[in-house]
Chain A
């Protein structure tokens, strides 16, 4: 089973929910972690995801979901405290270090990760990956950005327009 280990750490009253990825892998996590997702939170509050049911996530594959849950598990305690006010400087520094390493991944994974964060409405994760993507594209030319994000090559008309604008905004390309 691909359930993250840390999900098993707390044997107390922590409620567990099961999430099912698009390729039918089951992930068992604490409800508190899954509730970082606004979408899942509603289902969980309604009592869904417990027992053998599981919540199907047809838009998220298992590789992406495990990454998403890694983030949620790490951030769940801070989120439960209402975020920053109770967090110590050490905790915040630790989360920052985790975030920096977390997004240090292949760009195709980043792409599915941001899509998943968007679909599941996990604001912190979406914002973290968006910042990473913004940093990746800021030094690139329009053509390189297209290729980075997997856009199809431009049509000749689009290319001509891009070129004309590049000449007009020559200062942005020096």
Chain B
């Protein structure tokens, strides 16, 4: 497999999987693979199995489908009934031992994993894992010394490995080793320098891999004495090569702090990770970057928040709904954490992104696509139908939103709770509950539009009635009102948006014509829409990209940057500079929400 570039296409799996699924690959040589335990030199013709596991949280049935390379077909489904309602997260499979077992983490109420054993039972079973490890996120499967299931966990500076005691038939996991603080330093050095794959991986996989070797091979009963682990490096790196970047022996004079500050100020805000990494270079850089003074200067230097990226709601090739974060810095370098399968983005503001589940009922989360952090709303909204929602910082009005991304938030849900009325319910992250739904406006014929809302000054604006009108909700007076959209908007895609002068604007996509409108208030209090400009997008986009999709439109930076979908992927169009750029190749985009913020490690960064 390593030597050839041959791709083997597996037959399509029937039925089509609609829930979370995961897959793993197993060597199926009759008596285990003769070459070595790692299957590192497995011959190309070595038979193999692919196991796909899918869990239906509604029926509580978990199914496995096994592909056999000898038969070149999928076998009958293996099912297991359980009561946990879990889903199987993607990419958590691990191949263990020569008896061919695969394990998958589950997200059920109990901390357990799913086992598929190829050689013996060919059945699915659940194995309980030590519950005290449940909350730990740095946990991974590994093959234990006895060839059975092992687990590795990182807790602070300690690395623990456990192996399952299969002889006794007990479900408990035993045999524990600890790694002390000082060995960990050496370990991290090793992680950085080695590209070799070992049996144990942990944490962000780019750190590298290592191979632990126990001091003693005999199994240690629980509770175990902590013993040191030895780490052997497969290919020790040349000791000097890593240092070749260093300037000549004469130490240059130390750079004054104000000069360091000038350099760090110029790290582009669309690469927030770069500032975080720089803050770990040394203590003084850490203090500098997390100081309020630096953060203030950084913001002024880069003129406030910028478009860090886009979140696209799309339907992928498998027909699955995905919310995908496309960072502006490097759209092609997508991380696993940038895709949320089965979720849809509704709104993004003040560094917080509001997402709703499309699989498990109307659950809402607040997501930080830069750090991957998720905050779960404790209950689904008490509004039944056709709702749309907005997220804002709970301190809006007094907060300057410079450093509030991890702080408390409010979620406003407007929808049809009872006939003829739009009702509002508000969730506060501080009380962790929804307030009682309250009728705020008459329900229009076509209800709420699912278009990202906007916050202008102290009012939220939602498109309603298939773009016929706009619902305005004043956060201070708590009064809602309805305004017509510009004539001819009904049925088009429109996005309300704040203008630079503090008024309300609207972008409308009709066919391939983009028009921009401003709501003008006459001295007598009358309101009317004024068309600012109309742009024929076909003239600006490359011919190969046409036609433009008229189903969605994203806009950012006060009507300056627009995002339009085409046959050829997503394009951004800068009205000011006239620059047209392809943002991503993704097809099947249903809508986009720009993610606008400015990240500085600060409030939640403690410095070194």
Interface, chain A (partner B; CB < 8 A): 107-108, 111-112, 114-115, 118, 126-127, 130-131, 133-135, 137-152, 154, 156, 158-167, 169-174
Contacts and interface: CB of A to CB of B under 8 A. Distances in A.
Given A133-B266, A150-B247, A159-B189, 11 more contacts: A111-B255, A130-B265, A130-B266, A134-B266, A142-B281, A146-B281, A147-B245, A166-B207, A170-B204, A172-B277, A174-B204
Contacts, number: 130
Nearest to B329: A138
Interface in B148-199: 154, 156-157, 181-182, 184-185, 188-189, 192
B246 A154 contact: no
Contacts of A143: 192
Interface in B212-259: 242-243, 245-248, 251-253, 255-256, 258-259
Contact of B337 (A107, A134, A174): A174
A118 B259 contact: yes
A150 B251 contact: yes
Counting chain A CB atoms within 10 Å of each CB, the highest count among B181, B281, B337 belongs to B281
A144 B245 contact: yes
B255 to A, nearest CB: 7
Nearest to A128: B266
B268 interface: yes
Given A147-B242, A147-B246, A137 B256 contact: no
A117 B264 CA distance: 17
Contacts of A165: 280, 608
Interface string B343-376: 0000000000000000000000000001110000
A173 B262 contact: no
B242 A173 contact: no
A150 B276 contact: no
B274 interface: yes
B267 interface: yes
A126 B262 contact: yes
B184 A160 contact: yes
22 contacts: A108-B252, A111-B247, A111-B255, A112-B252, A115-B255, A118-B256, A130-B259, A130-B262, A134-B268, A137-B278, A140-B277, A142-B278, A145-B277, A145-B281, A146-B282, A147-B246, A154-B282, A156-B182, A159-B188, A165-B608, A169-B280, A173-B206
B185 A159 contact: yes
A143 B207 CA distance: 13
A138 B247 CA distance: 19
Contacts of A167: 138, 154, 203
B263 interface: yes
A118 B256 CA distance: 9
A137 B274 contact: yes
Query: Which secondary structure dominates where chain A touches chain B?
Result: helix
B262 A151 contact: no
A33 to B, nearest CB: 23
A148 B245 contact: yes
B157 A160 contact: yes
Contacts of B263: 114, 130, 133-134, 137
A16 to B, nearest CB: 30
Contacts of B267: 134, 137-138
A32 to B, nearest CB: 25
A138 B274 contact: yes
Contacts of A145: 277-278, 281
Nearest to B244: A147
A138 B276 CA distance: 10
A160 B181 contact: yes
A110 to B, nearest CB: 10
A164 B203 CA distance: 12
Contact of A171 (B156, B242, B268, B371): B371
B247 A170 contact: no
A138 B271 contact: yes
A159 B186 CA distance: 9
B60 to A, nearest CB: 33
B16 interface: no
A147 B240 CA distance: 12
Contacts of A144: 245
A142 B266 CA distance: 17
Q: Which 10 A-B pairs have the closest CB atoms?
A: A134-B266, A172-B273, A138-B274, A172-B276, A142-B280, A130-B262, A150-B247, A170-B204, A147-B245, A108-B247
A136 B160 CA distance: 37
B9 interface: no
A123 to B, nearest CB: 10
B139 to A, nearest CB: 13
Contacts of A149: 255
Given A147-B242, A163-B188, A174-B337, A139 B274 contact: yes
Nearest to B251: A150
A1 B252 CA distance: 27
A147 B246 CA distance: 5
Contacts of A159: 185, 188-189
B283 interface: yes
Contacts of B274: 137-139
A107 to B, nearest CB: 8
A145 B263 CA distance: 12
Contacts of A130: 259, 262-263, 265-266
